[in-house]
């Protein structure tokens, strides 16, 4: 890491250079796509993906009702309308049968989010898109390395976005993101848009953005990318331990995996009706947990204008009220897992005794 830092420091070239080019190639190889375009963050990756597809006012984009708000923000930032679709309660991922029902003559794009690191049922989603001449833009921010039917997330859609926010499975030491696509022309258009709409300096073809990837982040990401498969295996091992240690706890619903999908456990999320009390109880034992996410996008103040009242998306609302992300990191030991499990078990005893 320090060597990479010094290499970039000494190069006197800090934005969009050789490190970015190398990282883009290496990430393409990892993700089994022909093109990666590094950008400033995951939200920009999604915005630029929609923009190069020509999505804008009057267009509808199918999004999950339960996702991080960035997915919806990308849609509204290009002026299009998010059309929320409920997830399967078991996996928290987009339900393809409900996607089919949400398609209208204005639909242009389906945006699956591989939530918590589990691949969506992409075979059905791609078939629906083909049948209705829709684009697919995967939000792959949480699932680098996950697969459906043997194919990697981020390689199905026409153009896809991912994030290297520090907390993601592949994290930079700051903000970073990328667009992945098998379409060279779409990749070229993202390259132009990320850099002021310019291919040749000071000549601007379109009104672009400044959404460039730093050389330093790219150099660090190149090193971390080599370790990602190993970190993913460690996350999956931790999940296996959790599944074993928590199997007999009645009040807890463990993560379910759809047939054909793999899960890279960006998060290990359980569900319980006693979520808030459990979180407090664990906190009292020094075990920190998080909630992803407490408020679904349609109930955020930011989207009050969409007029989607409470009760409109009951599955998303229930998942938001019951989800709890347990500690999960590569290198977490079975001992750690056992401590968390014991904390949950002592909570269960407390509830049962009431
Ligand atoms: C993190 C995240 C994003 C946005 O990524 P940033 O790099 O933070 O902009 C988008 N979608 C999902 C599902 C995410 O988890």
pLDDT in tens, 271-308: 999 999 999 999 999 999 999 999 999 999 999 999 99
What pLDDT does residue 68 have? Answer: 98
Nearest Cα residue to atom 5 of ligand 1: 42
Please choose, from the candidates 152, 159, 141, the residue with its C-alpha nearest in 3D space to the C-alpha of residue 48.
Answer: 159
Helix (H, G, I), strand (E, B) or coil at 205: coil
What pLDDT does residue 353 have? Answer: 74
Bridging pattern class, strands 135-136 and 81-85: unpaired
351 vs 41, higher pLDDT:
41
Nearest Cα residue to atom 2 of ligand 1: 141
Please choose, from the candidates 247, 246, 224, the residue with its C-alpha nearest in 3D space to the C-alpha of residue 327.
Answer: 246
What pLDDT does residue 351 have? Answer: 76
Residue 345 has a CB neighbour count (10 Å cut-off) of 15
Nearest Cα residue to atom 14 of ligand 1: 141
Instruction: Domain 2-223: state its class.
Output: alpha beta
Task: Assess contact for 86 and 228: CB atoms under 8 A.
Answer: no
Residue 124 has a CB neighbour count (10 Å cut-off) of 17
Kindly report, as residue ranges, where domains of CATH 3.40.640.10 are found in the chain. 2-223
Kindly report, as residue ranges, where domains of CATH 3.90.1150.10 are found in the chain. 227-353
70 lines ligand 1 (CB under 6 A): yes
The tens digit of pLDDT for each residue in 119-140 reads 999 999 999 999 999 999 999 9
Main-chain dihedrals φ then ψ at residue 116, nearest 5 degrees: 65, 0
Residues contacting residue 158 through CB under 8 Å, at least 6 positions apart: 53, 135, 136, 137, 181, 183, 186
The tens digit of pLDDT for each residue in 15-70 reads 999 999 999 999 999 999 999 999 999 999 999 999 999 999 999 999 999 999 99
117 lines ligand 1 (CB under 6 A): no
Is the Cα dihedral 199, 55, 315, 257 positive or negative? negative
Task: Assess contact for 27 and 178: CB atoms under 8 A.
Answer: yes
Token digits for 109? 């794009």
162 lines ligand 1 (CB under 6 A): no
Q: Quick one: which atom of ligand 1 is closest to the CA of 115? A: 13
Residue 265: left (phi > 0), alpha (psi -120 to 50), or beta?
A: left
pLDDT at 354 over 70: no
The tens digit of pLDDT for each residue in 193-209 reads 999 999 889 999 999 99
Mean pLDDT of the chain: 97
Distance between Cα 247 and ligand 1 center (Å): 31
139 lines ligand 1 (CB under 6 A): yes
pLDDT at 352 over 80: no
What pLDDT does residue 350 have? Answer: 82
Q: How far apart are CA 113 and CA 153, in angstroms?
A: 10
67 lines ligand 1 (CB under 6 A): yes
141 lines ligand 1 (CB under 6 A): yes
**What's the first-to-final CA gap in the chain, in angstroms?**
53
Mutate to test the pocket of ligand 1, among 63, 87, 139, 160 (most ligand atoms within 8 A of CB): 139
Peptide bond into 293 cis (omega under 30): yes
Instruction: Domain 227-353: state its class.
Output: alpha beta
28 lines ligand 1 (CB under 6 A): no
Please choose, from the candidates 84, 53, 325, 76, the residue with its C-alpha nearest in 3D space to the C-alpha of residue 187.
Answer: 53
211 lines ligand 1 (CB under 6 A): no
The tens digit of pLDDT for each residue in 138-183 reads 999 999 999 999 999 999 999 999 999 999 999 999 999 999 999 9
Task: Assess contact for 155 and 68: CB atoms under 8 A.
Answer: no
pLDDT band at 99 (very low <50, low <70, confident <90, very high): very high
């Amino acid at each position: 890491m320090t060597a990479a830092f010094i290499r970039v420091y000494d190069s006197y070239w800090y934005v969009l250079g050789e490190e970015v080019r190398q990282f883009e190639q290496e990430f393409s190889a990892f993700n089994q796509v022909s093109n990666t375009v590094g950008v400033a963050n995951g939200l920009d990756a999604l915005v630029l993906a929609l923009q190069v597809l020509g999505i804008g006012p009057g267009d509808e984009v199918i999004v999950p009702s339960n996702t991080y708000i960035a997915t919806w923000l990308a849609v509204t930032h290009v002026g299009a309308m998010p059309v929320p679709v409920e997830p399967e309660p078991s996996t928290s991922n987009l339900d393809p049968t409900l996607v089919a029902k949400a398609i209208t003559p204005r639909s242009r794009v389906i945006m699956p989010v591989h939530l918590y690191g589990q691949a969506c049922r992409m075979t059905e989603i791609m078939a629906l898109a083909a049948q209705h001449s829709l684009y697919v833009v995967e939000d792959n921010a949480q699932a680098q390395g996950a697969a459906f039917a043997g194919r990697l997330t981020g390689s199905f859609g026409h153009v896809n976005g991912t994030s290297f926010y520090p907390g993601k499975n592949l994290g930079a030491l700051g903000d970073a993101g990328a667009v992945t696509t098998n379409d060279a022309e779409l990749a070229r258009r993202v390259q132009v848009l990320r850099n002021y709409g310019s291919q040749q300096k000071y000549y601007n073809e379109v009104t672009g953005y400044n959404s460039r990837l730093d050389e330093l982040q790219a150099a660090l990401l190149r090193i971390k990318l080599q370790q990602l498969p190993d970190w993913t295996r460690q996350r999956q091992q931790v999940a296996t331990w959790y599944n074993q240690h928590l199997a007999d706890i009645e009040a807890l619903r463990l993560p379910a995996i759809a047939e054909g999908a793999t899960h890279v456990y960006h998060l290990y999320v359980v569900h319980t009706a006693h979520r808030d009390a459990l979180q407090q109880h664990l906190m009292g034992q020094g075990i920190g947990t998080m909630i992803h996410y407490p408020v679904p996008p349609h109930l955020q103040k930011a989207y009050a204008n969409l007029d989607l009242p409470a009760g409109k998306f009951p599955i998303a609302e229930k998942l938001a009220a019951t989800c709890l992300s347990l500690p999960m990191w590569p290198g977490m030991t079975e001992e750690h897992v056992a401590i968390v499990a014991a904390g949950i078990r002592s909570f269960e005893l407390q509830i049962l005794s009431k």
